[in-house]
Amino acid sequence: MPLMQFKPLHAAVLAVGVAAGAATVAWSDAARQWMPAAHAQTVATAPAAAPLVTGLPDFTQLVDAVGPAVVNIRTTEKISTQPSMSGIDEDMLEFFRRFGLPVPNVPRQGGPQQQPNDEGEERPSGVGSGFILSADGYVMTNAHVVEGASEVIVTLTDKREYKAKIIGADKRTDVAVVKIDAKGLPAVKIGDVSRLKVGEWVMAIGSPFGLENSVTAGIVSAKQRDTGDYLPFIQTDVAINPGNSGGPLLNMRGEVVGINSQIYSRSGGFMGISFAIPIDEAVRVSDQLRATGKVTRGRIGVQIGQVTKEVAESIGLGTARGALVSAVEPDSPAAKAGIEAGDIIVKYDGKAIDKVGDLPRLVGNTKPGTKSAITVFRRGQMRDLSIMVAEVEPDEKVAAADGKPASGATATAKQLGLVVGELSEAQKRALAVKGGVRVLSATDAAARAGLREGDVVLAVANSEVTSVKSFEAALSKADKSKPVNLLVRRGEWTQYVLIRPNTK
């Protein structure tokens, strides 16, 4: 296909400018015949306002300087052969997994369908990006890039490949650190996120759809964007696609200011809004991962909600701020400190809580065992309390506690490899559903069907599910000799999934 031809614009613009200038001069000369002399002089000599922005940035030096420190990451995982996934390549699988889309059943084109292989085999499971933190081989990426991987392959820009060891991954912040056995590597420079300004030019380097070292650029659209419990994201309009995950977001000084992690999309593709994890938050997590292989966080044992303007005014708080305590866990640090349901936490450890998302981040970053000061607004008065911060339980224990634990699963549910829990009212409102149950873990047959933690089951065998009890009842009535159909919600997508029970 012939290349499109573009004509230079500068000559045409110059001609128009001269013509316009001549017309302006002619008009001004004629006008001076009746204008007052002073006014005529003002029109002729008024200086033009200086433009606030001139020219466009040149990214070539940034690419040359930072490009060698950006890596491509491929992963494989040991799975049973699943016919429903045989027709999708690893790039698209990563896309569906990362952006919360159900994996469709796409049969392999041509030839017989593969039968499930219980022995398991290595299959490509994802593609992503990362960047070198230190010359001795530590690489930072997203946790979702390496999640479930049995093997991680890191490829440098000079085409050298290394098998990497996963040092640690933190799902809550989506940060992971892997290590390759190499020395003298080019490392990135870490930037200061506090200096980053909205409207500032930024650049991303990554491997979208496996296209290594692809460069895209844009501006910072917003900072402190709340889309997660622990992270205030950097929003940009830099083009981010599957495979960019884990790559660096760079400022014009060639410093990493974020890790490209998510996009907002209604179509499944890039729509001009992307999110990056602030590098200061990521470094805090990576330091713990490198030291201990895990991240330790604080907790105080409260459920919180937003304080609306109407509520703030009606109770005498004034402006809408703080975190409204909707529930206090029995025997928790909050209960022992005297915090009550209905309190509004307005200050923690000397820092103001401007919005509800500030509290979990501040508490989470507090070392367990620390005694912290907390200020609550209760019945028209401020009260200062002291609280001993506890440690967040591991995800597995939290899941069991949230879901009326795994030990309560029926034999049929165990046969399917499913453990489910109740949906809270807040989760139902967020998902705009009347009922359903949340998947706490999916193994064996459920995992092979594509189910995963966080999915919401809305129906079983065409019977509506409103609770764990109704889920188990519907499951017990299903024909055990046939695949069980589940209506599953993931993100904004709803799809039927067939689970073939284990026969062993």
List, for residues 315-371, the tens digit of each pLDDT value: 888 899 999 888 888 889 999 999 988 889 999 999 999 988 889 889 988 999 999
Query: DSSP string of 193-247?
Result: GGG--TT-EEEEEE-GGG-TTEEEEEEEEEEEEE-SSS-EEEEE-----TT-TTP
Other C-beta atoms lying within 10 Å of the C-beta of residue 440: 24
174: left (phi > 0), else alpha (psi -120 to 50), else beta?
Answer: left
Please state, in angstroms and rounded to a whole number, the distance separating the CA atoms of residues 36 and 447: 85
CA–CA–CA angle 149, 495, 492 (5° rounding): 80
- For the cut 80, the answer to whether the pLDDT of residue 109 exceeds it is no
Contacts of 457 (CB under 8 A, 6+ apart): 420, 436, 437, 438, 439, 465, 471, 486, 487, 488, 489
- For the cut 60, the answer to whether the pLDDT of residue 482 exceeds it is yes
Give the range among 15-29, 114-128, 210-224, 346-360 with minimum mean pLDDT. Answer: 15-29
- For the cut 60, the answer to whether the pLDDT of residue 443 exceeds it is yes
Please, are residues 122 and 270 in contact by the beta-carbon 8 Å criterion? no
Beta-strand runs (E) in 59-170: 70-79, 121-132, 138-141, 151-155, 161-170
Please, are residues 463 and 479 in contact by the beta-carbon 8 Å criterion? no
Of the candidates 174, 343, 444, 455, the residue annotated as catalytic is: 174
pLDDT at position 33 is 46
- Please, what is the average pLDDT of the chain? 78
Please state, in angstroms and rounded to a whole number, the distance separating the CA atoms of residues 422 and 240: 35
pLDDT at position 394 is 61
pLDDT at position 280 is 93
Domain 191-292 and domain 298-391, same fold? Reply is no
Please state, in angstroms and rounded to a whole number, the distance separating the CA atoms of residues 489 and 474: 17
The pLDDT of 288-315, averaged and rounded, is 87
- For the cut 80, the answer to whether the pLDDT of residue 192 exceeds it is yes
- For the cut 50, the answer to whether the pLDDT of residue 1 exceeds it is no
More confident residue, 205 or 100: 205
pLDDT at position 411 is 54
Catalytic residue check, 10: no
The pLDDT of 126-132, averaged and rounded, is 91
- For the cut 90, the answer to whether the pLDDT of residue 428 exceeds it is no
Beta-strand runs (E) in 349-412: 351-352, 371-378, 381-388, 390-391
- For the cut 70, the answer to whether the pLDDT of residue 502 exceeds it is no
Catalytic residue check, 144: yes
Give the range among 77-91, 99-113, 404-418, 472-486 with minimum mean pLDDT. Answer: 99-113
Contacts of 375 (CB under 8 A, 6+ apart): 345, 346, 347, 348, 382, 383, 384, 385
| Superfamily designation of domain 64-179 | Trypsin-like serine proteases (2.40.10.10)
Contacts of 329 (CB under 8 A, 6+ apart): 301, 302, 303, 335
More confident residue, 138 or 36: 138
More confident residue, 469 or 405: 469
- For the cut 90, the answer to whether the pLDDT of residue 199 exceeds it is yes
From the list 309, 303, 301, 295, the residue with the least C-alpha distance to 324 is 303
Other C-beta atoms lying within 10 Å of the C-beta of residue 34: 7
pLDDT in tens, 377-400: 988 899 999 999 999 876 544 433
pLDDT at position 231 is 77
Reported as a pLDDT band with limits 50, 70 and 90, residue 197 is very high
Q: Where are the domains of the chain?
A: 64-179, 191-292, 298-391, 395-499
Please, are residues 149 and 166 in contact by the beta-carbon 8 Å criterion? yes
CATH of 298-391, one of 1.10.10.10, 1.10.10.60, 2.30.42.10, 3.40.190.10: 2.30.42.10
Beta pairing class for 255-263 and 189-190:
parallel
Share of the chain above pLDDT 90, in %: 37
From the list 254, 259, 255, 261, the residue with the least C-alpha distance to 278 is 259
What would you report as the CA-atom Rg of the chain, rounded to the nearest whole angstrom? 28
pLDDT at position 429 is 74
Of the candidates 125, 221, 245, 372, the residue annotated as catalytic is: 245
The partner residues of 496 in beta bridges, in order of sequence, read 487
Of the candidates 144, 214, 274, 441, the residue annotated as catalytic is: 144
Give long-range contacts, CB 8 A cutoff, 24+ apart: 481-485. 484/416, 484/460, 485/460, 485/461
pLDDT in tens, 233-273: 999 999 988 889 999 999 999 999 999 988 776 666 677 88
Name the DSSP letter for residue 142.
Answer: -
- 108: tokens are 């392999």
CATH fold label, 395-499 = Pdz3 Domain (2.30.42)
Please, are residues 279 and 370 in contact by the beta-carbon 8 Å criterion? no
Beta pairing class for 175-179 and 371-378:
unpaired
With both helix axes pointing from N to C terminus, report the angle between 10-31 and 37-45 in degrees, rounded to the nearest 10.
Answer: 170
- For the cut 80, the answer to whether the pLDDT of residue 292 exceeds it is yes
**3-state per-residue secondary structure call for 266-329:** CCCCCCCCEEEEEHHHHHHHHHHHHHHCCCCCEECCEEEEECCHHHHHHHCCCCCCCEEEEEEC
More confident residue, 195 or 265: 195
- For the cut 80, the answer to whether the pLDDT of residue 8 exceeds it is no
The separation between CA 47 and the C-alpha centre of its own chain, rounded to angstroms, equals: 49
Please state, in angstroms and rounded to a whole number, the distance separating the CA atoms of residues 385 and 296: 24
Please state, in angstroms and rounded to a whole number, the distance separating the CA atoms of residues 100 and 491: 5
| pTM exceeds 0.75 | no
Please state, in angstroms and rounded to a whole number, the distance separating the CA atoms of residues 228 and 259: 15
pLDDT in tens, 66-106: 999 999 999 987 765 544 444 555 556 555 555 544 555 55
pLDDT at position 104 is 55
- For the cut 70, the answer to whether the pLDDT of residue 412 exceeds it is no
- For the cut 50, the answer to whether the pLDDT of residue 483 exceeds it is yes
Report the half-sphere exposure of 155 (CA within 13 A, side-chain side). Answer: 15
Write out the CATH class of domain 191-292.
mainly beta
pLDDT at position 415 is 66
pLDDT at position 98 is 55
pLDDT in tens, 15-55: 334 333 443 334 444 444 444 554 545 545 667 777 766 67
Length of the chain: 504
Three-state DSSP at 437 gives strand
